[in-house]
């Protein structure tokens, strides 16, 4: 079994308004000549053309000159020193001079009682209400749910609740939407819009991270030869994995009303089973833990995977989807 290929860690940076603002590429210490290959990929160029891709000053300084040139040629910017601020505690505005981007988890930790975090994005709920009013295709509605962990969580919880749902195990968001029906969906969204008065300022970053993780897992499941249903399940696992953090509650408690597939639950809570291995692999990839990545994927994927490309694809997918759903509804 060949080694999985990962050259960089990719992480999202926020701007002062806490919105996703750039993709930071952090070359791994072990990165070799193949790093230059990454910068030669068309996917890299395409992403850099539509979203800022940046390299921190010290990382940039360590790159061989040819690689640094390749990075800049493809559209990645090497930042000035101090342009990225790693946030350790809740933030005080304004940002210190010279800081363009924020990194880190600290400012994403929510107080357990933030109501906005629990009702989900009002913007996307509104977008959904528009889609439902325009009698959009199920597929379009599903895409919005795939962007928003809180809304999709509530959707699944709803179709599992007595009196509304059907007591069937749900395997896809499309299935949940179809079970609920358009009328109930519309009413539910209206109520939700009433309850959620404003968007949580931290939501865009959390959402972006959850959906990129979900998409990465879906793509990885695809590489591992899972069928559509298995890929969908992997997506769901990624999507729901940050809910504990988002709700400020233990994940097990959050997931309890969903009656998830046992394999999905084992993966989410204990990283057990094949799906658990895939999740752990994606997390390892987020951290740049190549050893863990190799272990978890050892028996799951038949051939080495270029994880950098896979992650690029996931980021690109998230950005496209966000853009699509921020535009005013057509019609």
Partner 1 sequence: MADALLKRCLDLCRELRAAGGATGGAALEELESTLATLLARATAALPLQTRIIEQLREPIITMDLAGYVTGWNPAAEELLGYSAAEAIGQHILFLYAEEPDENGGPPDEMPELFLDNGSSFFEVRRRKKSGEVFWAGMSLSTIIGDDGEPLGLVSHLTEITHRRATEEQLRLQARVIDKSEQGILITDADEKIVFVNAAFTQITGYTAEEALGKTPDLLRSGVHSSDFRAEVRAAMTGAGPWQGEIVGKRKNGELFPQSVSISVVRNEAGEVTHAFSVFSDISVLRATEERMRQLANYDTLTGLPNRTQLNQLVGQALASARRNETHGALLVIDLFRFTSINDALGSEVGDALLREVGGRLRCALRNEDVLARVGGDEFVVALLDIRKREHSAFVAQKLLRVLGEPFLIAGHKLYVGAAIGISVYPGDGLETADLLRFADVAMKRVQKSGDTGYLFYSPEMDRRARENLRLEGELRTALVNGDLQLHYQPKVSLRSGRIVGSEALLRWRHPMEGMIGPAVFVPIAEETGLIFDIGEWVLDEACRQLRAWLDAGIAARPVAVNISARQFDAHLPARIQAALDRHRIEARLLRLEITESLLVRVPELVIPIMNELVAMGLALALDDFGTGYSSLAYLKKFPISTLKIDRAFVIGIPGDDNDCAIARAIVTMSQQLRQETVAEGVETEAQMRFLQALGCDQLQGYLFSPPVAADVFAAMLRTDRRLDCALPEKLAGD
Footprint on this chain of partner 1 (rule: CB under 8 A): 37, 113-116, 118-119, 129, 137-139, 154, 157-158, 161-164, 166, 168-171, 174-175, 178-179, 183-184, 186-188, 190-197, 222-229, 231, 301-304
Question: Which lies closer to partner 1 via its Cβ, residue 18 or residue 189?
Answer: 189
CB 199 within 8 A of CB 116: yes
Question: Which lies closer to partner 1 via its Cβ, residue 88 or residue 187?
Answer: 187
Report the alpha-carbon distance of residue 24 to residue 84 in Å, rounded. Answer: 9
Instruction: Compute, in degrees rounded to 10, the torsion defined by CA atoms 115, 118, 119, 120.
Output: 120
Question: Which lies closer to partner 1 via its Cβ, residue 1 or residue 49?
Answer: 1
| Shortest distance, position 59 Cβ to partner 1, whole Å | 24
| Shortest distance, position 187 Cβ to partner 1, whole Å | 5
201: Cβ–Cβ under 8 A, 6 or more apart, which residues? Answer: 17, 18
| Shortest distance, position 134 Cβ to partner 1, whole Å | 13
Question: Which lies closer to partner 1 via its Cβ, residue 33 or residue 98?
Answer: 33
| Shortest distance, position 146 Cβ to partner 1, whole Å | 9
One-character DSSP codes across 198-257? S--TTHHHHHHHHHHHHHHHHHHHHHTT--HHHHHHHHHHHHHTTHHHHHTS-HHHHHGG
Structure tokens given for 98: 């010279």
Report the alpha-carbon distance of residue 275 to residue 231 in Å, rounded. Answer: 10
Question: Which lies closer to partner 1 via its Cβ, residue 62 or residue 168?
Answer: 168
Question: Which lies closer to partner 1 via its Cβ, residue 88 or residue 253?
Answer: 253
Nearest CA to 144 out of 168, 121, 163 is that of 121
| Shortest distance, position 51 Cβ to partner 1, whole Å | 21
| Shortest distance, position 246 Cβ to partner 1, whole Å | 14
Per DSSP bridges, beta strands 8-14 and 20-27 are antiparallel
């Amino acid at each position: 079994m060949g080694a999985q290929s990962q050259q960089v860690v990719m992480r999202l940076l926020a701007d002062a308004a806490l919105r996703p603002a750039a993709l930071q590429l952090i070359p791994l210490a072990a990165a070799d000549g193949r790093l230059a290959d990454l910068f030669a990929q068309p996917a890299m160029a395409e992403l850099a053309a539509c979203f800022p891709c940046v390299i921190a000053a010290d990382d940039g300084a360590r790159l061989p000159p040819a690689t640094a040139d390749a990075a800049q040629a493809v559209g990645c910017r090497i930042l000035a020193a101090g342009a990225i601020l790693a946030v350790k505690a809740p933030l005080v505005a304004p940002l210190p001079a010279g800081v363009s981007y924020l990194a880190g988890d600290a400012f994403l930790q929510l107080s357990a009682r933030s109501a906005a975090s629990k009702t989900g994005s009002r913007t996307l709920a509104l977008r959904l209400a528009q889609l439902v009013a325009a009698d959009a295709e199920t597929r379009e509605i599903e895409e919005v749910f795939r962007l928003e962990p809180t809304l999709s969580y509530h959707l699944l919880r709803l179709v599992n609740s007595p009196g509304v749902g059907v007591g069937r195990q749900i395997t896809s968001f499309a299935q949940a939407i179809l079970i609920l029906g358009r009328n109930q969906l519309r009413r539910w969204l209206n109520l939700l819009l009433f309850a959620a008065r404003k968007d949580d300022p931290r939501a865009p970053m959390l959402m972006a991270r959850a959906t990129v993780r979900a998409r990465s897992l879906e793509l990885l499941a695809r590489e591992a030869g899972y069928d559509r249903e298995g890929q969908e399940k992997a997506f769901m696992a990624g999507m729901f994995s940050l809910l504990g953090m988002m709700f400020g509650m233990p994940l097990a408690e959050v997931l309890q009303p969903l009656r998830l597939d046992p394999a999905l639950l084992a993966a989410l809570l204990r990283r057990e089973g094949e799906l658990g291995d895939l999740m752990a692999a994606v997390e390892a990839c987020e951290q740049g833990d190549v050893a863990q990545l190799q272990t978890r994927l050892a028996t799951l994927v038949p051939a080495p995977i270029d994880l950098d490309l896979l992650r690029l694809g996931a980021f690109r997918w998230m950005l496209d989807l966000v853009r699509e759903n921020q535009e005013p509804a057509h019609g």
